[in-house]
Amino acid sequence: MQPRIGTVRDPYLVAPAQVGRLSPDALRTALLIGLASALLAGLLSLAVPMLPAMRPAVRAAGSIVVTPRALVGGRFGQGGWLAISVDLRNDGPPVSGAIVANGSDGQVRRAVDLPAGARKQLALYVHPEAFIRTLKVTFVGSDGNALASGDAQVQVLESGVSQVAVIGDSASILRSQLAARAAPGLPQPLALSPADLPERPEPLAGLATVVWAGDSGSLTEPQRRSLERWIAGGGNLVVLGGPDWQARTAAFTDILPVSGLTARDGASLADLARFAGNAALPTGATATIASGAPRDGAIALADLPAASGGGPLLTAISHGGGRVTFLGADLASDPLRGWRGAPLLLGRLVPDNRLALQFTGGAPVDLEFGAMLGQALSNIPALEVPPAELLVLVIVGYILLIGPISYIVLRRRDRRDLAWVTAPLLVLIFSAGTYGIGWTLKGSQVIVNEVDIIRVAAGGDAASVQSYAGVFSPSRSSYDLTVRADALLSAVNNSSFVRLGNGTGNQPAGSYVIEQGNPAHLRGLAVSVFGLQAIRSDAVVPYQPDLEIDWRLEGDAVTGTIHNGSQHAVDDVAVIGQGAGVMVGTLQPGARRDFRLVSANLNGSPVSELIYGSNGNQQDTPEQRTFAMRRQVIDALTGYGGKFPGAPVTAAGSGGPMVVGWRADAAPVAIDVDGLAPQHYRQSMEVISGRPRITPGAISLSPASLPVDIVSTAGDASTQQGPGGVFMSKGEAVFRISLPLEAARLQPTELTILASQDPGAVFASFGNPGGFPPGFRVAILRPATGEWDDLGDPSLNGSMTVTNAAGAIDDGGQILVRVTANGPANGGAQVFVGAQVRGVMP
C-alpha cells in the first residue's frame, strides 16, 4: 500500500523515490520552504561575523556620558575663542574616538581614548557663531558614529565694553559695588570661580578686568600662566586681601606689587578713604589687612599710618601691557562692605575705557586684525596682476590672429571654407598659450606666505605667537596643514584677498576639520586655481625677547633706549603707539640706540607712514615688497584709529606703545603643508608691550590717557547716547576725570578742561572743542572748600584754563567737572568733557 503524503512528517527527509509521487502543490510548497530556509541561513551567515563589531558600539552608546561646560561663564568675545571643559565617563567597554563641536570655522575635534571605567576631562576651543546660545559637544567613535553628546550654554560678549569678572564673590557684595560705579551702560560683572578659568589666554580676551577675592591656591600651573599672559597682553588684575589674604594671593606671589606679605590686625583705613575721594568711613574704622614691601617699579597709592605699622595699603605695578593692583583690605568685609566710597574706589581701579577705545582707535578685535592682514598675506609675486603691456600684447595678438591673419592665409590657399575649423582651433591654441604664459608668470609651485606676530612682555619668558599664513595654489587642490605645537588653528575669512583666474578667494565657513592637540592639524583647506586661502595659528611658547627696553615718560614724550641682546640682527626696529611712530633702524647684536616718541601726528597720517615715509607703496622689487608688507602689518597693529592725532603714547596694552622688530627667518611656530615642500616666504615681527615708567620730573598727560565717567545727572540729561557723553537740554551732569594710577601723586602745575559736542575734539585733538549753543556753563569743584568754580561758557571757548590747578585735583588724583544747560533754543546738545594736565612727579 502506498504511503500517504500526509504521513510524511518531515518534507525535507522525503526519499527520492517518494518525490516523484508528490503532488505538484506539495512539491511547490517544499521547494519554497527550502529556498526560504537557504536564504535565511545565508543572511545569518553574513550577520553573525558583524555582531561582535556591532555589540561594543551599541553598548558604548549607552555607557558614555558627555558633560560639557563653557568656561569664563560661557562668555566669549565676538570672533574670539570659547573654552569648553568636557567631562567624559565611560561605564562600558574600551572605546576610541574624539570629542567634536561645530564652530564658525568648521568642525573642531580632539582625539581621546576611553578605557573601561575611564573618567577624563578635556578642553576644546571653538570659534562659535556670534549669536548662538547653545553649543553641542559630541563624542564620536572611530567609525564616525555619534555615541553621546551634551550641550553647553554660551553667550557672546558685547564688543567695545569694559567687561569685568569677579572671582570668589559668593555674597554678590563686590558685584553690587562694581555695578554702583558711576558709569551707565556698563555690562553686569560676571561671577566666576577659579575652575571657570581656561588653561590658555585666548578665551580671556573678552575680559578687561578680573577682581580676585577667591582661593587662588586651586589654580593649576597652566591656569596661572594663562592669567599672566592675559595680563601681559593688557589685562587688569585686582587682588583683594583681608583676613583670607594667604589663600587669595597664593598663586600670584611672583606678580603682586608687594612681597613679604604679613597680616596687620586693627589697621587704619583712613588713607584709603582719601584715595577714594575723601569718602567718609565709619568712625574709628579698622580692619585686618595684608601689607608688605613694594617691589621695584610698584606705586603706593594708599599707605598705612605709623600707628598701624606703616607700609602700603593699596599698590599697583605694571606687568607687560597690563597691570596688577593689590588692596590689602577686603571690600566685601566689615567695615568696607557698606562703605559709600567702595564704588568710587573700584571706579578708580577698574576704569571705564569704552570712550578711549571708541574715539582713539583702540586695537582692533581679532576679526578686524585678521582682515587687515589679508593684504599683507597676498603680497607675493605670484598674486600680482600681469603687466599692462603684456595684457595689451595678448589682446592685440589674439585679434590679429583670429581675424586678418587667419583670413589672409586661408584666402591665399583658397580654402576660406575652412574658417569654421581654423577659428575654433586657433581659439583653443591661443587659450592654451595664454594659460601657459600665466603658468610661467605665476609658477607651478605651492607658495606659503607667512607672517608671525610674536607678542611678548618686557622681561617676559613666554610669548603669544599669532601666525598668519596665506597658501597660494597654481591648481584647484585641497591641503592639510600642521603646526607642531599645541596651537589653535582657524580660518581667516577676508573678502579683500586677491582673486585671480577662476579663484573664489575664500573657502566657505564650516568646511574645515581642525584637530586640536600637539601637533595641531587643519584638514581640507581648499584653494582654487591661482587662489590664496589664509589660516591663523595661536600658540603660547617659551620665548626670550631679542630686544630689551628701558623707557620712561618725559614731558609729553616717551623716551628710552633699546638694546639688542640676541645673537642676530633685528631689522626695522621701531617704537609705535596710537597716532605716533618713530623708526629706530636695524640693530646689530649688542647694539643700543636711544629714541624719542612724540604724539604730534597732526595730519592724520597712518602710523606706518610716520615710520617708513610716504613713498612706501611701490612693490616693484623684493625689497619694496617687503617694506609694503611690513607697513600693512604695522597699520593692522595700530588699528583704524592709529592715524588719529593726539592719541596717548602712554596707553598700555595692545594699542601701544610697543616696540617692534623684524626678522626674515624661522619663527617659534611654523605652519607646514603636509606632504609638500612649498616655496615659503616668512617674516616674523617681535612685538614688546609695556608701560613706560613715570620718573620724577615734568610730565604731560593728554585727554585720551585720563579716564572719564559720569558721576550724576539731574533734570533733562540723558546718558543713553553712548559712553562718556550726556545729552542735555535743561539740567546738569557731573563728570569725573581721573589721573592714571601711575600718576596719582602728580603735583599739577597746569590744568585745561575741554568740552565739546564732538568726542574726537576732546580725546583725539580732532577739531576744535566747543561748538555749543548758548545756555551752557562749565564749572570745576574745589575739593578743599567743596565749592564749584565757574569756568565760563563753552559756546564761546571749549578749552578752559583752570587757575590754581593744584586746588582742582583731590588727593586721589580726581577732577570733578559740572556742566549745566538752561534750555538752549535748539533743543539740546551732546556733551563730552576731558582734561589736559601738566605737572611734576615727586
CA distance linking residue 725 with residue 232, whole number of Å: 30
Residue 344 has pLDDT above 90, yes or no: no
At residue 658, the 3 state secondary structure works out as strand
Neighbours of 452 (CB within 10 A): 22
In this structure, the strands spanning 693-701 and 829-841 are antiparallel
Name the least confident of 33-47, 376-390, 514-528, 782-796: 33-47
Tell me the pLDDT tens digit for each residue of 54-103.
Answer: 333 333 456 899 999 999 999 988 878 999 999 999 999 999 999 999 98
* Residue in 670, 735, 678 with CA at minimum distance from that of residue 708: 735
Per-residue confidence at 277, pLDDT binned at 50, 70, 90? confident
Residue 728 has pLDDT above 70, yes or no: yes
Residue 501 has pLDDT above 70, yes or no: no
Distances in whole angstroms, Cα of residue 786 to Cα of each of 115, 333, 745, 813: 72, 30, 21, 16
Per-residue confidence at 657, pLDDT binned at 50, 70, 90? confident
CA distance linking residue 453 with residue 683, whole number of Å: 9
CB 600 within 8 A of CB 634: no
Angle at CA 413, nearest 5°, toward 408 and 415? Answer: 90
Per-residue confidence at 430, pLDDT binned at 50, 70, 90? confident
Instruction: Give me the pLDDT at residue 565, please.
Output: 92
What's the whole-number mean pLDDT along residues 251-276?
Answer: 92
Residue 645 has pLDDT above 50, yes or no: no
Instruction: Give me the pLDDT at residue 722, please.
Output: 60
Angle at CA 453, nearest 5°, toward 126 and 379? Answer: 100
Residue whose entry in the numeric block shows the C-alpha cell 583658397: 414
Neighbours of 243 (CB within 10 A): 16
Helix (H) or strand (E) holding 28: helix 24-63
Residue 831 has pLDDT above 60, yes or no: yes
Q: Which residues contact 684 (CB under 8 A, 6 or more apart)?
A: 451, 452, 454, 662, 663, 664, 665, 666, 667
Tell me the pLDDT tens digit for each residue of 452-476.
Answer: 999 988 777 888 999 999 898 888 8
Residue 18 has pLDDT above 50, yes or no: no
Taking phi first (over 0 means left), then psi (-120 to 50 degrees means alpha), and beta for anything else, what does residue 361 get? left
Instruction: Give me the pLDDT at residue 603, please.
Output: 56
Greater pLDDT, 625 or 643 = 625
What is the percent of the chain with per-residue pLDDT over 70, rounded to a whole number? 81
Residue 112 has pLDDT above 90, yes or no: yes
Per-residue confidence at 689, pLDDT binned at 50, 70, 90? confident
What's the whole-number mean pLDDT along residues 701-714?
Answer: 84
CA distance linking residue 824 with residue 828, whole number of Å: 6
For the record, the C-alpha cell of 703 comes out as: 585727554
Name the least confident of 125-139, 319-333, 506-520, 539-553: 506-520
CB 299 within 8 A of CB 258: no
Residue whose entry in the numeric block shows the C-alpha cell 577624563: 120
Question: Is the C-alpha dihedral spanning 86, 87, 92, 95 positive or negative?
Answer: positive
Residues 325-355 as b/e (b if ≥16 CB within 10 A, e otherwise) read bbbbbbbbbeebeebebbbbbbbbbbbbbbb
CA distance linking residue 574 with residue 593, whole number of Å: 11
Which residues is 463 bridged to in the sheet?
456, 541
CA distance linking residue 427 with residue 419, whole number of Å: 12
What's the whole-number mean pLDDT along residues 384-405?
Answer: 75
What's the whole-number mean pLDDT along residues 308-328?
Answer: 91
CB 648 within 8 A of CB 577: yes
For the record, the C-alpha cell of 3 comes out as: 504511503
Instruction: Give me the pLDDT at residue 226, please.
Output: 94
Q: Which residues contact 794 (CB under 8 A, 6 or more apart)?
A: 755, 756, 769, 770, 772, 776, 777, 778, 800, 819
Distances in whole angstroms, Cα of residue 621 to Cα of each of 471, 626, 628: 21, 9, 11
Taking phi first (over 0 means left), then psi (-120 to 50 degrees means alpha), and beta for anything else, what does residue 180 get? alpha
Instruction: Give me the pLDDT at residue 684, please.
Output: 92
Instruction: Give me the pLDDT at residue 332, please.
Output: 93
What backbone phi and psi angles, to 5 degrees, belong to 697? 135, -175
At residue 195, the 3 state secondary structure works out as helix
Transcribe 673-709 into DSSP letters.
Answer: ETT---EEEEEEEEEEE---EEEEEEEEE-GGGS-EE
Residue 495 has pLDDT above 50, yes or no: no
Instruction: Give me the pLDDT at residue 166, please.
Output: 96
Greater pLDDT, 434 or 358 = 434
pLDDT, averaged across the chain = 81
Taking phi first (over 0 means left), then psi (-120 to 50 degrees means alpha), and beta for anything else, what does residue 812 get? alpha
At residue 293, the 3 state secondary structure works out as strand
Per-residue confidence at 180, pLDDT binned at 50, 70, 90? confident
Neighbours of 80 (CB within 10 A): 20
CA distance linking residue 614 with residue 635, whole number of Å: 14
What's the whole-number mean pLDDT along residues 703-710?
Answer: 83
Q: Residue length, the chain?
A: 842
Residue 317 has pLDDT above 70, yes or no: yes
CA distance linking residue 424 with residue 447, whole number of Å: 35
CB 470 within 8 A of CB 448: yes
Task: Give me the numbers of helices (H) and strands (E) for the chain, helices first please.
Answer: 16, 42
CB 687 within 8 A of CB 637: yes
Helices (H), 193-283: 221-232, 245-249, 270-275
**Encoded amino acid at 824, one letter:** P
Transcribe 7-27 into DSSP letters.
Answer: G-S-GGG--HHHHTTS-HHHH
CA distance linking residue 279 with residue 736, whole number of Å: 15
What's the whole-number mean pLDDT along residues 535-539?
Answer: 91
In this structure, the strands spanning 190-192 and 164-167 are parallel
Tell me the pLDDT tens digit for each residue of 565-586.
Answer: 999 999 999 998 877 889 999 9
Q: Give, to the nearest 10 degrees, the angle between helix 388-400 and helix 419-442.
A: 170
Instruction: Give me the pLDDT at residue 4, please.
Output: 42
Three-state helix/strand/coil letters over 354-399: HHHHHHCCCCCCHHHHHHHCHHHHCCCHHHCCCCHHHHHHHHHHHH
The two most distant CA atoms of the chain are separated, in Å, by 141
Instruction: Give me the pLDDT at residue 55, please.
Output: 34
For the record, the C-alpha cell of 484 comes out as: 607642531
Instruction: Give me the pLDDT at residue 443, please.
Output: 64
For the record, the C-alpha cell of 371 comes out as: 582682515
Residue 188 has pLDDT above 80, yes or no: yes
Greater pLDDT, 454 or 494 = 454
For the record, the C-alpha cell of 679 comes out as: 616655496
**Structural Rg of the chain based on CA atoms:** 35
Residue whose entry in the numeric block shows the C-alpha cell 601726528: 601
Distances in whole angstroms, Cα of residue 618 to Cα of each of 128, 139, 557, 628, 685: 39, 52, 32, 7, 21
CA distance linking residue 276 with residue 346, whole number of Å: 9
CA distance linking residue 247 with residue 241, whole number of Å: 9
At residue 761, the 3 state secondary structure works out as helix
CB 190 within 8 A of CB 112: no
Transcribe 72-105 into DSSP letters.
Answer: GGGEE-TTS-EEEEEEEEE-SS-EEEEEEEE-SS
Tell me the pLDDT tens digit for each residue of 803-816.
Answer: 999 999 988 889 99
Distances in whole angstroms, Cα of residue 161 to Cα of each of 176, 232, 354, 724: 18, 19, 5, 12
**Encoded amino acid at 29, one letter:** T
**Global pTM?**
0.82
Q: Which residues contact 615 (CB under 8 A, 6 or more apart)?
A: none
Greater pLDDT, 294 or 420 = 294
Residue 440 has pLDDT above 50, yes or no: yes
Instruction: Give me the pLDDT at residue 68, please.
Output: 96
Per-residue confidence at 327, pLDDT binned at 50, 70, 90? very high
CA distance linking residue 795 with residue 777, whole number of Å: 9
